[in-house]
A = this chain, B = another copy of it.
Amino acid sequence: MKRTSAALVPPISLDRRGTCPIYRQLYDWFRSAITEGRMRPGQRVPSTRSMAAELQISRISVFNAYEQLHSEGYLETFAGSGTSVARTIPDDALGFLPTHKRKGLQGAIAKPGRRKVSARASILLKLPSEPWLRNLGPFRVSLPALDQFPVEIWSKLVVRHSRKLSRASMAYGDVMGYLPFREAVAEYLSTFRGVRCDASQILITTGSQQALQISAQVLLDPKDQVVMEEPGYPGARVAFTAAGAELIPVPADSEGIVVPEINRRGRHARVAYVTPSHQYPLGMTMSAARRMSLLQWAAHSDAWIIEDDYDSEYRFASRPIASLQGLDVHGRVIYVGTFSKVLFPALRLGYMVVPKDLLPAFSAARDAADIFSSTLFQAALTDFIADGHFARHIRRMRMLYMDRREALVCAIQSQMGRNLEVIGDEAGMHLVALLPPGMSDVSVSKHAAQNGISAMPLSSCYLKAPKRGGLILGYGGVDPRQIQDGIRKLKISVHRHAVV
């Protein structure tokens, strides 16, 4: 009798018709009451019998709720003294006191809204972002012709591998990637890109961004210098910034990055990031002389070259340019490629070719980052390559993109020849159209986005202020009709910003 009176049954309202079981509602009520300070450490709780009677519920429900509260340490039982709120619950647990008791202590708690994150995260947050470009409208950069992808063939392969999911293909896979896939990639790169490698050097990634992130992780310590082409690829800038590196812009001219400038501005750089086959974004090819000087610089400076060969499959006026990596006899080049542009981005498959002595470090960094890439798509893509679909798709897309580029250049010249100047080689999936001097490419880009156009401002590729603005126009994912229509819309935005 005494026990029951010592622990009056609290006013618990139960929802008897809801989907939440009674014992759970009881558990929840006690947990909140304890953590919010409505029940104090040491305070008695009613017996299961009295609780059940008072609340008109089954004693089993009460028992189950108490059991759970016990096992989580909210309640404790001492022989002879019944069950009470655990005394180990800290009495002054901040945030668990009733609000009126917390007041005086609030000052000690850091204010939300301006809480400290890491220095590198703070810098990342300050990088320019173009949220208005997130639409999939005309001229979206890096978007291939998704409607031309052989979805039927691909899905057949996915289905085939999905139905016979083996233990090995469901479990943890190889950090470096699925071996047959790495062999296929090595063969492709040796034959078509002039890369010197074997399958042991291939590290499969979830795309080129991860390849850059891992490279930054392995090659760079915070404050280390990285040479970037100016203008250059914003994704690389993000990856190196995230690693805490210092970026050194070195101009790129018609022959690619100006190597003598590296010696002047970035003498102590640990890494140079370049796009020799098709400079991003301007579109020229790095000359043989520059390639050799760059390799020489790296060998002399104990530095590394990251070669990003993001869309080299597509050259229209000449044959594909062989990779810089293939010229390197000192193992100074980390070669990076992706299937996002030749197939589709949501595949999340890319690759890198790593100098052999660096393989343990790259493998460890991939393991630390996210362990391995999904096996299913690697297996399906191995078949896709082996069956010849890959080569066939590239050939078809090369013709298609050549036509689309021509259509875009024509549309620009006929509709806005006075205002846009096209630059870059006949290659890839995008071109750069320079705006008249003095016109803000960010303003034009923002305005165009209101009409559903995704035209990336050239200035977002510069670390320093550019001399002249421009628009990076992707033509991979737009058909001729969309090109005509898109340029008409773009014209409105450019004219609006024209100096009167």
Instruction: Mark A residues whose CB is within 8 Å of B.
Output: 31, 34-35, 64, 67-68, 71-74, 86, 88-90, 92-96, 108-110, 112-113, 115-122, 124-125, 127, 136, 142-143, 146-147, 149, 151, 154-155, 158-159, 162-163, 165, 167-173, 205-207, 209-210, 213, 217-222, 224, 238-239, 241-242, 244, 255, 285, 287-290, 292-293, 295-296, 299-300, 302, 317-319, 321-322, 327-331, 344-348, 355, 357-358, 360-361, 364-365, 367-377, 477
Contact = CB atoms under 8 A, between A and B. Distances in A.
Contact of A344 (B71, B112, B171, B365): B171
Contacts of A292: 35, 89-90, 93, 96
A159 to B, nearest CB: 5
A318 B74 CA distance: 14
A427 to B, nearest CB: 11
A348 B368 contact: no
A35 B255 CA distance: 17
Q: How many copies of this chain are found per oligomer?
A: 2
22 contacts: A34-B288, A35-B288, A71-B317, A73-B290, A95-B296, A108-B300, A109-B330, A122-B361, A124-B365, A125-B364, A136-B168, A146-B170, A154-B165, A158-B162, A169-B346, A171-B344, A171-B477, A213-B368, A221-B222, A222-B222, A369-B370, A370-B370
A337 to B, nearest CB: 15
A134 to B, nearest CB: 9
Nearest to A96: B292
Given A86-B288, A96-B292, 12 more contacts: A71-B317, A95-B295, A95-B299, A109-B330, A110-B299, A112-B357, A118-B220, A146-B167, A149-B165, A207-B370, A221-B244, A347-B374
Contacts of A167: 136, 146-147
A-B residue pairs, 7 tightest by C-beta: A73-B287, A88-B289, A73-B288, A210-B370, A242-B368, A155-B162, A170-B344
Contacts of A136: 167-168, 171
B361 A124 contact: yes
A311 to B, nearest CB: 15
Contact of A170 (B115, B209, B255, B346): B346
Nearest to A319: B68
A170 B167 CA distance: 27
